[in-house]
Amino acid sequence: MSVVELCGFEMGNFLDLWASSGTFSIQSTIKRTGSYALKINPTGTAVGYGGLAAVNAAGQLVGMDLANVYARFYFRAETLPASSSEEIFMAQSTTASVKLTVRITSAGKLQVYDNTGTTQLGSDGATTLSTGTWYRIEVLVGTGGSANYELKIDGITELSGTGDLLTSNNKEMAFGKVLDRNGQSVEFYYDDIYIDDAAFPGAGQIEVMQADGDGTYTDWTVGAGAGADWENVDEIPHDSNTTYLLSVNSGDASTVTLESAAAAGISGVIKCVKGVLVVRENVIATSAHSIRVRSGSTDSDSSDANLITQFRTQVRLLESDPADGLPWTTADLDGLEVGGVQNNAAQIRMTAAYVMVDFDPDGVAPTGHPAMRRWGGVPGMAPGRAPVGRGW
């Protein structure tokens, strides 16, 4: 396992998040890339955050159980604490306890604290974060009474060492002012989050590929809406029960084709593809539904999930192309389809189908990333292929 989860908030709603609370929104005014980003803006002693965890084999969002987590997020502060400091990030353990937190001071310096929330690990960071500027923040959160931690800003190690990060594994990564520390009002933005369990993700951004045609499988019918099948699952944000496809028979499969990588603004080194459906049971039943990502003539399905009667995401994370087992290329993306497979005689609604892609437009895979290991350590080069890209 390597990739754990990725999120660019490109669904335009909170369904990207595993957990959330307090004062937050998914908004389109201030963002780093794409069309949306997470805004955290609690006042005084109030809090606000969005949390990400993991994806199980059935494509459902679940808590992690990982000893080491490497989280990348792009962070922008519009309002710093007027005095003292407040949290911008927290790692939670499987026992629902704090493992590690990152705070920002009124001077724009980053700090790291252990599980107590009162013991600062090391000194304040050397870099001053300016308001109105996006920074790439990466955090390693280990496990143990003397576990490794590391904080990077724009790829440069700012703080590192060991600290008491509990003996229970990581469960959730939370972004925002998760706990009130000093009663300060803040306004923070987050975008292009990538969580890995093997190495720092490095630079990247996340864009969405929207449906643009009916795919290879068209067994589902239009349950509400009009036009071709794909026109009922392409809205961002999704429109819930206004337009959707409906399946009532076991064995039904429906997929949609997607806009090209170029149309979606995707280039360079592709780190991960995330198929995303928004689905629900039409009535309470025992359902068995899988998400399908189709590359060329190869179908890659999740295991079956028993859905509920509220719309939720079902996702599939793929670091390599299932058609050949090699790193993704933009040409591979141009042959993608995504959709759902009904494996029980329940009624299922699908209101949205997309693919999210995390990529580095500069075309340099970070050392230690799974893509680099697969490529034998040559940035942007797969064996037998031309260089890719560039030029809680």
Q: Are residues 80 and 222 in the same domain?
A: no
What span, in angstroms and rounded, lies between the C-alpha atoms of 12 and 313? 13
Q: Are residues 198 and 210 in the same domain?
A: no
**Host domain of residue 355:** 206-360
341 domain-assigned: yes
**CATH assignment of the domain containing 326:** 2.60.120.260
Query: Do 348 and 289 form a contact (C-beta atoms < 8 A)?
Result: yes
196 domain-assigned: yes
39 domain-assigned: yes
Domain boundary among 182, 202, 222: 202
365 domain-assigned: no
Q: Are residues 93 and 165 in the same domain?
A: yes
Domain boundary among 177, 202, 227: 202
Query: Do 284 and 309 form a contact (C-beta atoms < 8 A)?
Result: yes
36 domain-assigned: yes
What span, in angstroms and rounded, lies between the C-alpha atoms of 200 and 155? 9
378 domain-assigned: no
Q: Are residues 42 and 104 in the same domain?
A: yes
How high is the pLDDT of residue 363? 75
Q: Residue 104: which of 23, 175, 53, 170 has the closest Cα?
A: 175
Q: Are residues 194 and 217 in the same domain?
A: no
Q: Are residues 197 and 275 in the same domain?
A: no
How would residue 159 be classed by pLDDT, with cut points 50, 70 and 90? very high
Q: Are residues 297 and 233 in the same domain?
A: yes
116 domain-assigned: yes
379 domain-assigned: no
Structural domains of the chain, count? 2
In this structure, the strands spanning 98-105 and 24-27 are unpaired
How high is the pLDDT of residue 391? 26
Q: Are residues 229 and 284 in the same domain?
A: yes
Q: Are residues 254 and 125 in the same domain?
A: no
CA gyration radius for the chain? 21
Q: Are residues 183 and 233 in the same domain?
A: no
Domain boundary among 202, 237, 269: 202
In this structure, the strands spanning 54-55 and 61-62 are antiparallel
Q: Are residues 89 and 27 in the same domain?
A: yes
Query: Do 246 and 220 form a contact (C-beta atoms < 8 A)?
Result: yes
Q: Which residue has the higher pLDDT, 70 or 375?
A: 70
- Quick: pLDDT tens for 361-379: 997 544 444 444 333 333 3
**CATH assignment of the domain containing 58:** 2.60.120.200
- Quick: pLDDT tens for 171-185: 999 999 999 999 999
Element housing 371 (H / E) = helix 370-374
Tokens of 26: 């998914």
How would residue 285 be classed by pLDDT, with cut points 50, 70 and 90? confident
pLDDT (average), residues 340-353: 94
Whose tokens are 């996340």? That residue is 206
Q: Are residues 349 and 274 in the same domain?
A: yes
Q: Please name the amino acid found at residue 365.
A: A
**For residue 392, pLDDT beyond 50:** no
